[in-house]
Amino acid sequence: MGGTVLELENIDAYYGESQILFGLGLEVKQSESVCILGRNGVGKSTTMKSIMGQLNPKVHSRVTGSMRYLDHELVGMPSFQVSRKGIAYVPQGRHIFPTLTTKENLLIAERAGINGKQEWTIERIYELFPRLKERENFKGGRLSGGEQQMLTVARGLMQNPQLLLLDEITEGLAPIVVEELGQVINKLRSSGVTILLAEQNVNFALAVSSDCYLIEKGKVVYHGAAKEIPKEIFSQYLGL
């Protein structure tokens, strides 16, 4: 395991006067896949948006505390700068360009990593996602939900990130597509990609993660290895 890529300490997050995160802390190490689990509305997506600089005075929101990413403090940094530092964000809702082809959606995101390397090329993306190669000339709006989700993950990789954030990528997908995505994420893990994912799909999250944080009402209530979480924790915080 490498050094720490991202460390959140004592993070409070607010939308207007409403506080969503309360002293939240977590750590992601190099080449690790870490999941944030919790019921709907507990603050998982807010955590992701906080990291990406999307909570700011322009949208009547704010973040306090410390978010150390490599040698950078992210709190107060605008989203475009966070992205340029090597963090790729795959948000809820996909947000692909429906009138561009699959290939155009990928090429529009293409950039070298902060180390100047371009490990993720369109050829390598097509090896990982053969379906996207088959659909490369289809307009984004004509792709199925699963294909669109694969495209959003692929588009994140085209940025050659040091850290990949995945927010609820299994939402609304058929079980067979979720299984395919799980295989893709595990291939990324084995190739050394560092991942932080927020998920409601517990089985998916645990199958692709080494480490897990459970959030309840904006606080971390449990942290441990993904394969060693006691059953009573699941029943207490996830109703399983």
Q: What percent of the chain has pLDDT over 90?
A: 82
Check: CB of residue 122 under 8 Å from CB of residue 85: no
Q: Is the whole model's pTM more than 0.85, yes or no?
A: yes
Closest CA to 102 of 43, 167, 154, 47: 154
Q: Tell whether domain 4-238 is in CATH 3.40.50.300.
A: yes
Q: What is the pLDDT of residues 187-236, one digit of tens each?
A: 999 888 999 999 989 999 999 999 999 999 999 999 999 988 888 888 88
Closest CA to 43 of 176, 226, 214: 214
Distance CA 169, CA 181 (A): 9
